[in-house]
Structure 1
Amino acid sequence: MSTPSYNLEHLTTSYVQSLTDVLTQLNAKALALLVDTLLSMREKNGSLYLCGNGGSAANAIHLANDFTFGIHPKGNALKVEALAANSSILTCLGNDIGYDNIFSHQLKVKAKHHDVLLILSGSGNSQNIINAISEANKIGMTTVGILGFDGGKAKALLDQPFHFEIQDMQISEDTQVILGHILMKALYEELKHE
């Protein structure tokens, strides 16, 4: 086994400290508003749509699972769909109408005004994310995002932005899952007696 050319202990300590520091930016009142938004959506039989690119797409699929099962194992959970989960749809739309429209077109076809869009984005600047937010706003959906870096173009377009100012894609993606898991636990507490 070769000796690494970097200090792994320092890398580990630095990463954990950066993640810990950035999580202090989470606003509990804003999170409570999002819980209320999702409960209201559920009462109106609405759906939660999630989207992201790369690791954020994987996080969207992960959280769709948590919101489908984790908040109410008996089935009284949220109606939720990760827009990046169907490779046939993604490749069709990417090929036929362009990658920038892979999420917005799905919303145009499926979404209603009482639904919620949750975007996960490190930069907040991907055109397919901006187009999805624009389409959701046209429909009258509530738009929510978990963003890193400077929040990008997406931040100003969202009804409920959660912005973690961190110049690190991996930590930005970590915040998506952590905030999602906090939401899952909060929704579980809200719904466990139903």
Structure 2
Amino acid sequence: MNQTLTPSQPHSATQAALATARIAIVSANWHSEVVHQARDACAQRLQHLGAAPARIHPVEVPGAFEIPLMAQKLAQSGQFDAVIGCAVIVNGGIYHHEFVSTAVVDGLMRVQLDTGVPVFSVALTPYNFQPSEDLQGFFRTHFVKKGEEAANACAETLAAHAAVDALLGEAVTA
């Protein structure tokens, strides 16, 4: 999700879409000092774009692998207009991270296709993630950017869905 469009001011379509939207941000507690940077930046950006703070709901799960099921539960409830998942999937020198990251992203895609609720991923597998302070600082900063990008994508997607819903609701005259 490399969003190049980052408007400095929210436009009316995104503001309108976010004004009544209820959004869940599911974050993994594994490496929470990094993951919560994405969660918090995402929530702040959503508010800047027009979402009411009371309509943004953080939900925590133990790790990345648990995010798709929680996203499914939230999406199927009919109470959320979008779900955003945030996690660090550590490349620990074995291929486990590849299986987990594939399962998480595939699971999130399945949730959105099965429910019709937009789902966004900030589940990242940083290359050479190490617990050193220099790298931790780099990843904390990087996750802020990714959280903001997810918020931008969420706002634009909700606005696009609202526009298509309006189009589909128009009477066809021939």
* Shorter-chain TM band: 0.3 to 0.5
Q: TM-score, normalised on structure 1?
A: 0.44
User: Larger radius of gyration, structure 1 or 2?
Assistant: 1
